[in-house]
Structure 1
C-alpha cells in the first residue's frame, strides 16, 4: 500500500472513496459534518433512518453522495465520543481498511487522523494509522503456488493508495515523520509474521541466520553467527543439549545496532528460536503440533524489532541474541534424567525435554553479560501455563527490576500491545530444587509460567532483566491461524522511549 499526506479541501477533489467517522451518539465527525453540509444533509438523513448507529467498527459504504466529486463515502463507527481513545481510533482505522478491501475502490482518502484522540499527538495518530492499515492488509501467500478464484479476486481488491488528510498545512512535516514511524514498525511486524508463518522445513536455524545476515547487509548492522564448535568452546552445554536430537545445526545469532553514543551501555534483546518443537523425548500430543513452528516467534520478534529500529535510525545501542535450534527426539536426543552443564557452570537436571526453551535461553542470558548491558529483555513462547493464566490478550511480564517492568508495561499500553506484570517471588524458587543437580528444568504443574521465569532469573543476577512470555500472544489458531507480530510494537516503543531518555 502506498501512502501520501495532503491538506486542503478534499471534498471537492475526486477520489474512489472518502473515509469519515460517526460517533455512537449519532454525532458526525467534523469532516463528516462538512460533507453533510455539502450534500444538503444526506448523511444526517442516513443516520436518522438508523442505517448507521456509530457503534465501534460498524461501517456503511455510500455511493454517489450528492455534491461530492468522489465515488463513495465510507462511514465508520467510532463508538463513544466522550474520551475517544487510541484503541477506538485503531479499531476505526482497521474497520475502514477492511471495508475498503471488500469494495472496488483502489484508492481512498482518510479523514480519521483529524479525530481528537485523547493523549495522542498528530505524529502518533499518523503512525498508528499507517501501522494498522498495513497490518490489516497483510497477506502471507509466499508458499502457495495456486490460488482459487476467490483468492485471486480478493488479491485484486483492496486499496493500493491511501491518502491521509490533515487539516493544518503547517503540520505536514510532523505527519510525514509519523508516516515513516508507522511504515517502519509495520515492516518489522510483517517480517516477524512472515518468519513465524513459514513452514519449519523452510524456516530452520540456518534460515534465521541468513535473515539476520541479510538485515546486516541492508542496514549496516554488525551480525555474527556462532556455530556448534564455537558454542562448545563457550561451554553452552544446556543449549547444545537441546540441539542434540536434530540434524539441523544450532546457531547463536548476535546482532548489533550501534547508533547510540560511544560507550553507551546497550539494551540486549534475547529471542527464543526453537524453529520446531516436538517436545523431544517428552513428545507432545499430535493435535496442533504443526503450530510448534511458531516456537521461534521470540527470535522472529527480535529480527522484526531490529528491522524497525534500523529503518528508524534509532539513536540507541541495541544487541540482539538469538539461540536457535530444533527440539527433536532421535537416538542422540537429551533424555529426562540427563544432567546438563550450562555456560554459567550451573548444572540442570532435565526432568522434561519439552521445557527446552529455558535451556537454550539460559546460556544466551549468560552470554549477554559480556555486553555489560543497561537492561536485558528476553522474549519467548515459553509456557502453555501463561496461556492458561492470561489467555491471548496480554503477554506475561516478569522482571527482577520493578522500574524496568514499569517501562515495558507503559510501552505496551502506548503501543496497544499490552503485557501484565506477574510475580517473581522467592517463594516459588524451591519448586526447582533437584536431588541430583543445581536445579531441575521444571517446577511442577503449579505456577508453571512463574517457575519458568524463576529458572531464567538464576542466570540474570548481573544485570536488570525482564522476561516476556508470548506463548498466548505470538500467534492465532483456528480460521485466523497466523503470526501476530507481537511484541514488536511493545519492544519498539520501549526502545524509542529509552533512546529519548538517552538523548536528554
Structure 2
C-alpha cells in the first residue's frame, strides 16, 4: 500500500477525488464554513457524533463532499494513542467495502507523533494475509493520503512511519507463513533478497560453518529436524566503519514442537510464530533500506526447527556453547535461549555499541504482562531507558523487568556450568538471567515478545511488533544523515 502526505484543510480535502474521506474530530472541535465542518458541528450538537476514540459516524454522498463515503471519527484529545484508535476504527470499517483510495484528515494541531500513529494504524487495519490462499481476495486499499495543516513540519515523521509500516508488514508476512513454507532455508533466502534490494551485506551460514564456529548449543536444538539450520548475518552500513554498530539478534525457531519435552496439541499450530523475533529483525532491515539513517546495524538470526526425533537432544544432555560454557538441558522446550546464547557470543566480534535480542521466549512473560507490553530486560540503564522511550514514542510498549542476581540461583546444576531452566517462579526473568551470562562484554537488552508478537483467536496472526520500537530506537541513536545517505533515501522514496 502507498502513502502520501498533503497540506489540505477540510474544504480542500472535501474536493479530493477518492473513494472515502475520513475526518478525525477531536475534543474542542470548532466547525468552519466548509461542508464537512458544518456536518460535524451539527452532528456533535445533536449527539449523533461523539469524540470518544473509535466512535464513527458514516455518511453516503454527503453534500459538498466529492468522495462517495464520509466517515467522521472521534479522536478524543487528539493525542497519538487516540489518533491510532480513530484511524484503526475508520479503516477497519471501510476495509470490507472494496475501497481503494482514502484521504484521512488529521486535526490542525496534529503533531509528528499523531502522524506516525495514523500511518501505522492505517497500515495495520488494512493488512490482509493472502500468501497461501487460492484466491487473493481481501485487501483492496491501495493508497492513503494523509491531510495535515502543514506537511513540511511533519515530513520526517511521515517518512519514518511509512518505512516502519513497510517493515511491520514484512515481519507480519514472514510470521504468518506456514512452517512448511517459512523454513530456515526460506528465511535465509528472504535475507538475501532483502540484501540485494537494499545494498546490505549478507551471509547465510549452514550446518558446516556453524559447526566450525563451535555453536554446540544452537546445533543441539536443530539436530532433531531434517530441515538444515541457518545462521543469518545482515549488515547495514550507514555511518563510518569506525562507529560501533548496534546488533539485533532475532530468535528464528520456525516451528517449535517443544522437542522431546513436547507441547500439548491445542494451539500448537501457533508455534509457527516462534520465529517472530527473526521476522522483526528482517522487518527492521526492510525499514532501514528506505530510511538510510546514519548508523551501523548488524542483524543476527539463528534459525532452525525444534522437533522430536531419534536424533533430538534430550533432557539431561550437556551441550557446549560457542562461549565454552557447558549447559545442562533440563527441558527441550526451553530451546530459544539455547540458540540465542550462541548468537550473543558471535555478536562479540563486532565490538558493538549495544546488543538487543528479540524473542518469543517465555509463556511466563505472557502471564506477567499479557499482550499489551513486551518484557524488557537490560544490563545497562541507558540502553533500557532508550528502548523504553522508543517504545513509548512508537506506541509499541515495553516494560522493564528485574535482573537481580538472586534470580540466577535456580540455574545452578551439578552437571554443567548452567542449566537451561530454573523453577516455575519468575520464568521470564530466569530465562533472561540465562542469556545475560552470554552478553557480559557489551551493553545488552532482551525483549521477550511472547505476548505481543502475535494474536490468537479470530484475529490470529503476527503483529509485526516490536519493529516500530526498534526502528524508533535506531533512529534515536543515529547521527545526522550524510550526503550519501540522503541521496540513497531520496532514491528509495522515488
Task: Give how far 1:78 is off.
Answer: 1.3
Question: Does structure 1 residue 263 correspond to structure 2 residue 242?
Answer: yes
Count the aligned residue pairs: 479
CA contact (8 A) 1:5 1:175 kept: no
1:442 maps to what in 2?
A: 421
Q: Secondary structure at the match of 2:478?
A: helix
Question: Does structure 1 residue 97 correspond to structure 2 residue 100?
Answer: no
State how 1:70-469 maps to structure 2 within 5 Å: 70-79=67-76, 81=77, 84-103=78-97, 105-112=99-106, 114-117=107-110, 120-121=111-112, 124-146=113-135, 152=137, 154-156=138-140, 159-168=141-150, 171-172=151-152, 174-469=153-448
Q: Secondary structure at the match of 2:32?
A: helix
**Separation (CA, whole Å) in 2 of partners of 1:55 and 1:241:** 53
**Separation (CA, whole Å) in 1 of partners of 2:118 and 2:468:** 14
**Separation (CA, whole Å) in 2 of partners of 1:86 and 1:311:** 23
1:60 maps to what in 2?
A: 57
Q: Secondary structure at the match of 2:219?
A: helix
Q: Could you list the per-position Cα deviations for residues 460-482 of structure 1 after superposition, in whole angstroms to 9, with x for gaps in the alignment?
A: 11111000000000000000000
Task: Give how far 1:67 is off.
Answer: 3.8
Task: Give how far 1:6 is off.
Answer: 3.1
Task: Give how far 1:116 is off.
Answer: 2.3
Deviates further, 225-234 or 60-69: 60-69
Distance 1:162 1:39, change over 3 A: closer
**Separation (CA, whole Å) in 2 of partners of 1:34 and 1:438:** 71
Task: Give how far 1:155 is off.
Answer: 4.3
1:7 maps to what in 2?
A: 7
Distance 1:155 1:390, change over 3 A: closer
1:51 maps to what in 2?
A: 48
**Separation (CA, whole Å) in 2 of partners of 1:191 and 1:280:** 28
Task: Give how far 1:5 is off.
Answer: 3.2
State how 1:451-490 maps to structure 2 within 5 Å: 451-490=430-469
Task: Return 5+ residue gaps in structure 2 as ranges.
Answer: 483-494
Task: Give how far 1:44 is off.
Answer: 3.0
Distance 1:204 1:40, change over 3 A: closer
Q: Could you list the per-position Cα deviations for residues 4-37 of structure 1 after superposition, in whole angstroms to 9, with x for gaps in the alignment?
A: 33335415625343322334x5x43x5xx236x5
Task: Give how far 1:164 is off.
Answer: 2.1
CA contact (8 A) 1:125 1:178 kept: no
Distance 1:417 1:242, change over 3 A: same
Q: Secondary structure at the match of 1:139?
A: coil
Task: Give how far 1:502 is off.
Answer: 9.6
2:485 maps to what in 1?
A: none
Task: Return 5+ residue gaps in structure 1 as ranges.
Answer: none
CA contact (8 A) 2:218 2:339 kept: yes
Question: Does structure 1 residue 19 correspond to structure 2 residue 19?
Answer: no
**Separation (CA, whole Å) in 2 of partners of 1:326 and 1:435:** 29
